[in-house]
Amino acid sequence: MNIPMEYGLLLAVILFCIGLAGLLIRRNIIFMLLCIEIMLNAAGVAFVVAGAAWGQAEGQVMFIFILAMAAAEVSVGLALIIQLFKQTGSLDVTNANKMKG
């Protein structure tokens, strides 16, 4: 097997940027949360690739922490989505602009 490390990181970068683009484009807050998941996952990919390239377990450990964080973030985020839906009656994030300066 002769896969360059750069290809793995390339994949991570592409995934990350797709997630970012989605985050910026979409207005539906569920999609935005999904995009954040994509970006987190891309970061995890980068860690694992780097770990594999160096032959060390640290990358995988980091992935596990990212996983835990993603789980916590999703639980709170989804609760917030539910609240937002209750308050504004829609999932459109542009309606949640009460905190403008």
Partner 1 sequence: MKELLWLIVTLPFAGALILAFGGRKFPHAVSAIIGVGSVSLSAILTLLVGFEFLGDTTPFLQVAWQWFDVYGLSPDIAFRLDTVSLIFIFIITFVGALIHLYSAEFMWKDEGFVRFFVFMNLFIGLMLILVLADNLLLLYLGWEGVGLCSYLLIGYWYKDPKNGYAARKAFIVTRIGDAALAVSFYILFMTFNTLNIQDILTAAPGTWSLGSGIAMATAFLLLGGAVGKSAQLPLQTWLPDAMAAPSPVSALLHAATMVTAGVYLIARTHVLFEIAPTAQHTVAIIGAATLIIAGMSALYQHDIKKVLAYSTISQIGYMFLALGLGAWSAALFHFMIHAFFKALLFLGAGAVISVMRDEHNMFKMGGLWKKLPIIFWTFLIASASLSALPLITAGYYSKDKIIWLAFASDKGSVGLWLAAIVGAFITALYTFRMVFLTFFGKPHAEPTHRPGWMITIPLMVLAFFSFAGGFIELPQNMGNLTLVSDFVEKTLPVATLSVLQPFTELIFQIISSIVAIGAVFLAYILFFNKPFPAAEPQRNAVQRFFFKGWDFDLLYDKVIVTPMIFLAMINKKDIIDQFYTGLACITRQLNALLSATQNGQLRWYAMVVAAGAIIILTIIFFP
Partner 2 sequence: MEILFYIAGVLAILSTVMVIAVRNAVHALLYLIVSLLSISVIFFILGAPFIAALEVIVYAGAIMVLFVFVIMMLYVDSSNSNEKNIFIKPKTWIGPSIIALILMAEMLYMLLGEGYHPMPHQIISPAAVGKLMFTKYALVVDLAGFLLTAGIVGAYHLGQKERKILHRYLTDKNENL
Of the residues 9, 11, 18, 20, which one makes contact with partner 1 according to CB under 8 A: 20
Q: How far is CA 41 from CA 2, 21, 36, 53, 89, in A?
A: 24, 15, 8, 18, 30
Q: Which does 43 bind (CB under 5 to 8 A by kind): partner 1, partner 2, none?
A: none
Question: For partner 1, which stretch binds (CB under 8 A), given 22-30, 48-56, 60-68, 69-77?
Answer: 22-30
Q: Is residue 96 close enough to count as binding partner 2 by CB under 8 A?
A: no
As a whole number of angstroms, the distance between CA 82 and CA 73 comes to 14
Q: 48, exposed or middle or buried, with CB in 10 Å at 0-12, 13-18, 19+?
A: middle
Tell whether residue 20 is a contact of partner 2 (CB under 8 A).
yes
CB 59, min distance to partner 2, A: 8
Confirm or reject binding of residue 100 to partner 2 (CB under 8 A).
no
DSSP H/E element including 32: helix 29-54
**Is 1 one of the binding residues for partner 1 (CB under 8 A)?**
no
Q: What angle do CA 98, 36, 96 make, to 5 degrees?
A: 10
Which residues would be at the binding site for partner 1 (CB under 8 A)? 20, 23-24, 27, 29, 32, 93-94, 96-101
